[in-house]
Amino acid sequence: MGGADAGGHDNTANGDNTANGDNTANGDNTANRDNTATAVHAAGSPDTVVAWAPGRVNLIGDHTDYAGGLVLPMAIDLGTTVRFDRGGTHLRLRSGRRRPLSLDLPVAGSVARSLSDLEPSWGRFVAAAAIEVGATIGGDGEISTTLPVGAGLSSSASLELAVALALGFDGSPLELARLGQRAEHAASGVPCGIMDQLAIAAGTTGHALLIDCATERYQPVVIPDTVEVWVLHSGVKRRLADSAYAERRAATEAAAEVVGPLAQANLDDIESIPDPVLRRRARHVRSECDRVQRFAAALATDDPTTAGELMEASHASLRDDFEVSVSQLDELVVALSARPEVFGARLTGAGFGGCVVALARPGSNLSGVGSAAWLVRASDGARQITG
Ligand code: GLA
């Protein structure tokens, strides 16, 4: 979808990742990671700004963030680099060989009012971030990424946060995440929650982040070394994701009007919601929040078997109650679950296509599963590298 995952827009900025090497990754793509930022840093002048933001994968807790529920994503070691030589009031950014973005700062007038008309379309996320930062000093440079496109790994949130940092944002991870969320709403029109941006802003190496989206409090949860995290693409580009996402969110809000905040709602109350669709949507949110809590506990006690079972249950709930899966995602989950080295798998992110996340034994090779596969590691959050 255009929102959380940049899948719905022209992903030139996020999509042209050839500069960083081949990240189709069927296997070990670690060689490409973080190298861009490091190399640019070494070559940078004092006036060169470089910022990097990871993508994220959600281990469990989908379609709960905007309902004030729990989520457990992690920032990953694939991400977006923004680099430019600072100066002037114009921002010119290239991405691959496509048409560059050219913006006058501060972004104002018709550009700010109709972001959805801005071309190239990835520039909408850049412009929205520039508006939120209130940037007045621009520059000339480029954007590159190691993130796969349209995969549910939050390439647009990664882009927005990297741009905000490059343009001089200075504040806490939560403030950065909120800024990114506002930029996402403005650029894509998708009413996303805070999960993606907060995971990207506040990530910690070796940890997932347990976020209570009602309070926006978060705490790191160690990922034990008895598991590795894989992301497998279903091969399906996400379809109808933007409108369906907004529709799902509206349904959870309608259900919450009947039974109160869904994350804590009484189960009997949920089962007595008259409308069967709202009842299913509410049941998913409530049960998913429970699963997030139990999953975090399973990680803390190094119990990957239970964690894997919870992932399977999460997928079933997203498929049956929330109805955001597609057959290719279901088949991928079944294929992965049949493998002895996999503890569990589920769709990750908004659904409607995109990727599955799997928890596997260390040393597993899932590179032949799905249309592309990435072994990902929990990474630190977004940061400015120079400037
Ligand atoms: C997208 C949104 C997030 C979240 C997920 C589903 O990634 O951007 O806020 O709602 O979908 O969990």
Residue with tokens 């991928």: 332
Residue with tokens 């008259």: 274
Q: Which of 128-132, 150-154, 286-290 has the lowest mean pLDDT?
A: 150-154
Question: Distance between CA atoms of 13 and 19, rounded to whole angstroms?
Answer: 11
Contact 380, 38 (CB under 8 A): no
- In order of 185, 285, 324, the CA distances from 244 in angstroms are 15, 16, 8
Q: Which of 190, 213, 245 to mutate to test the pocket of ligand 1 (most atoms within 8 A of CB)?
A: 245
Instruction: Tell me the mean pLDDT in the region 160-171.
Output: 97
* Residue 41 reports pLDDT greater than 50: no
Contact 308, 341 (CB under 8 A): no
Higher pLDDT, 380 or 17: 380
Higher pLDDT, 1 or 114: 114
The 10s digit of each residue's pLDDT in 48-63 is 999 999 999 999 999 9
The 10s digit of each residue's pLDDT in 81-140 is 999 999 999 999 999 888 899 999 999 998 888 898 999 989 999 999 999 999 999 999
State residue 25's pLDDT score: 34
Q: Where are the alpha helices (DSSP H) in 274-322?
A: 276-300, 304-320
Instruction: Tell me the mean pLDDT in the region 369-379.
Output: 96
State residue 98's pLDDT score: 82
344 lines ligand 1 (CB under 6 A): no
192 lines ligand 1 (CB under 6 A): yes
Of all protein residues, whose CA lies closest to atom 11 belonging to ligand 1?
350
State residue 20's pLDDT score: 30
**What percentage of the chain exceeds 90 in pLDDT?**
80
If pLDDT is split at 50, 70 and 90, which confidence band does 34 have?
Answer: very low
State residue 19's pLDDT score: 29
State residue 150's pLDDT score: 74
- Judged on CB neighbours under 10 Å (0-12, 13-18, 19+), 268 is exposed
Question: Distance between CA atoms of 254 and 265, rounded to whole angstroms?
Answer: 13
151 lines ligand 1 (CB under 6 A): no
* Residue 305 reports pLDDT greater than 90: yes
What positions carry a catalytic annotation?
Answer: 196
Question: Distance between CA atoms of 274 and 81, rounded to whole angstroms?
Answer: 49
State residue 28's pLDDT score: 35
d(CA 354, ligand 1 centre) in Å: 13
Higher pLDDT, 23 or 104: 104
Instruction: Tell me the mean pLDDT in the region 70-76.
Output: 98
The 10s digit of each residue's pLDDT in 171-222 is 999 999 999 999 999 999 999 999 999 999 999 999 999 999 999 999 999 9
Q: pTM value?
A: 0.90
Q: HSE (CB half, 13 Å, CA atoms) of 128?
A: 29
State residue 45's pLDDT score: 52
The 10s digit of each residue's pLDDT in 265-277 is 999 999 999 999 9
* Residue 254 reports pLDDT greater than 80: yes
* Residue 279 reports pLDDT greater than 50: yes
Q: What rounded mean pLDDT belongs to the chain?
A: 89
